[in-house]
Amino acid sequence: MRFRATVENVDTFAKIVQSVEKLQKRCTIKFAEHEMRIICTGDVNEGGIQVWSQIKVSSLFTDYRIQSNSNNEITISMSSEALLAALRSAAASSTAQNSSTSFTTDTQVTMKLAKKGDKSVLSLEITGLTPMARAMTVVQHIVIDVVKHADVERLKEPMCPEPDVHILLPALAKLRTVVERLRPLANDGVIFRANHNGELQLAVTTDNARVEVGWSGLTNPTMAKDPSSQNTNTDDSDAKDPAEMHGVLVSHKCLLKFLNSHVVSTTTIACICENHCVILYVYIGNVADAGGVITYYIPAKFDDGI
Amino acid sequence: MVERILIGHSTATAFVFSHVFDEFVYNPDAARPSQPSQLSQNDEDDELTATAFEIPLNALMDCLNIFGTAGLASGASQKKKKAQDDGEDSDGGRARGVRSNGKGKGRADADDAGGNARLDQWFAPGKGTGMRMSYAGPGHPLTLLVAEESGGPTATCEITTWDPEPRLELAFDSDAAVLKIILKSSWLRDALSEIDPSTEKLTIIGNPPPPPGRAARSSAPPCFRLRAVGQFGSTEMDYPNDREVLETCECAHSVSFTYRFSHVARALRALQSSLKTSLRIDDEGLLSLQFMMPAPRRPGRRSEAFIEFWCLPLEND
């Protein structure tokens, strides 16, 4: 089992990890020949939010070499906090070098699997030059567990019905402000609903107040290649009333956790499966040439606990 | 529009005049209940001039600040607010049901006094957070439409209203006032914020100003004195009878009343954003603090708002 790669885009990698770090203590990363998947399954975290991200190797790494007995795939799990700390340290040194001096191409970050004593580690080797032009290397070791083949088989994306509506979300940073403000008014969760007319609504209800925040003029993209849709015929959306709202009640905490991805997001598409779940595709970089997508699944919350 | 808050032995009332709003429509007949009022004939006159309901104040604050641009922390500890909307100016007289509109309150003068800083967060120029508030009458929620910018998101808030509970009737008899002082709010604010929060009692002492025409002697008792007694000692603060400090000071004979400091301290937030303060005490010791609030200036109209606090004295002086 061998893995070694140069991290070309440390900052983006750090931001992706930052987006999922708040979800749960440990995350799973699956390295394959052409893509890297960061997975947080909802077993332990509150509210059942899950993340399945898919990032093209070429958008983060160069000199990517992987070899293993299971189809050249390696699945490891580690503390997301430790991974973020290591990446931040690497990102800081690469940007500091860029800004302070003329050494722009000096910092190199290499990631590899290694053994340290009897423990497997993912090590991040940061090589650069000090302002005095001396070579300097910092190595960060993150203790990992290699996930057994049988357990990898058990990792399955949640099954979802055909979404009722797809909608392009407004800027996540703005959405996040509103969702944060809704916190004291949202003890039962937030109703997340949208229609085929480009309208999105967030609604909360308590004994004291009913609040509904609405956006309009958003885009309803056609998602012909949506992997979760079995039925590729998009004409059936014409049969529905475009003004009809499709909603799902989700936990306020989960919504906020998803909105942590505002640091990396450019385009976000929400797919609502009425009274079932909401799926959020956060695109990294341009949609047309996406370097990757982080997929969040937020299950519906039911008023009377199941 | 009047907002009233009950806090123990003190009440607070905010008077917001209709011309603070860009539009203010008050439709007294719209929500007149079909069944006859259960109030006695005597009360009816008073009742007809006002529409009153209670709402949770923190919910209103949360709604106003939904886009995070109103910028006022919702630190209100009071659970309920009593709002009484009575017909202002031409609307006076027969009134039931209120409809008030405030749209695009974004016209505060940029060069307003520093004391306006807090209100500027609500009425800041350029930010354009607008609000439209309406109330259809008893049994209906207080509806707020809040928008940050044109084309941006809009929030529709319906705040549950309750029938007003009988309120503590404190009537300040201005004929019986034994002490009347008007001063710049900052003078009072600085004094009150000096006082240690653990202080239990605050005594307000007033003495008649020395007869005019003679230079104030240093031995003369101060016109206005604040004495705070707490766990860690006592503090006394005197205000000289100087026009620079006390704009007016009317006091017939020496008075001294003691109040619970925690009650008076509730007025600090209003005091901080106000321009001028009128402090009055009647012969029974009822303290009335009126704060003149800054408001967006409109050409040709006065649009100050007032907040009034009433506080009962402690019995064993």
Q: What ipTM was estimated for this complex?
A: 0.73
- What's the one-letter identity of residue B252? A
- The alpha carbon of A44 is separated from its chain's Cα centroid by a whole number of angstroms, namely 17
* Chain A residues lying within 8 Å of B68, measured CB to CB: 177-178, 180-181
Produce one character per residue of A228-246: b if its CB has 16 or more CB atoms within 10 Å, e if not: bbeeeeeeeeeeeeeeebb
- Out of 3.40.50.1110, 3.70.10.10, 3.40.640.10, 3.30.70.60, the CATH code matching A165-299 is 3.70.10.10
The pLDDT assigned to B2 comes to 65
Work out the minimum CA distance from A209 to partner chain B, whole angstroms.
4
A32-36, A70-74, B101-105: range with lowest mean pLDDT: B101-105
Mean pLDDT along residues B247-276: 88
- Domain locations along chain A: 2-154, 165-299
Contact B157 A217 (CB under 8 A): no
Interface test with B, best of A191, A210, A218, A259 (most B CBs within 10 A): A210
Closest residue in B to A215 (Cα) is: B153
Q: pTM of the full predicted structure? A: 0.72
Fold of A2-154: Proliferating Cell Nuclear Antigen (3.70.10)
Report residue B248's pLDDT band, with 50, 70 and 90 as the boundaries.
Answer: confident
Where are chain B's structural domains?
A: 2-159, 174-311
CA distance B165 to chain A (A): 17
Coil, helix or strand at residue A288:
coil
- Order the strands of the B130-135 sheet from edge to edge: A246-250, A190-194, A200-205, A209-215, B154-159, B142-147, B130-135, B99-102
Nearest residue, CB atoms, A178 vs list B56, B66, B74: B66
Q: Which residue has the higher pLDDT, A104 or A128?
A: A128
What pLDDT, on the 0 to 100 scale, is given for residue B24? Answer: 84
Taking 60 as the threshold, does the pLDDT of residue B149 lie above it?
A: yes
Beta-carbon separation of A208 and B66 below 8 A:
no
Contact A177 B56 (CB under 8 A): no
Query: Residue B127's CB: how many other CB atoms inside 10 A?
Result: 18
- Residue A65 pLDDT: 93
The CATH class of the B174-311 domain is alpha beta
Q: Do A211 and B58 touch (CB under 8 A)?
A: no
Give the whole-angstrom CA distance, residue B274 versus residue B297: 15
Quote the mean pLDDT of chain A: 84
Under DSSP, the state recorded for B93 is S
Beta carbons of B153 and A214 less than 8 Å apart:
yes
- The pLDDT, as a whole number, for residue B218 is 56
Q: Which residues of chain B neighbour A190 with C-beta distances below 8 Å?
A: none
Instruction: Tell me whether the CATH fold assigned to A2-154 matches the one assigned to A165-299.
Output: yes
Q: Please list every residue in chain A whose beta carbon sits closer than 8 Å to the beta carbon of residue B74.
A: 184
Chain B neighbors of A215, CB-CB under 8 A: 152-153
The backbone torsions φ and ψ at residue B238, rounded to the nearest 5 degrees and listed phi first, read -110, 145
For an interface test with B, give the residue of A181, A245, A259, A262 to mutate (most B CBs within 10 A): A181
- How far apart are alpha carbons A279 and A169 in whole angstroms? 12
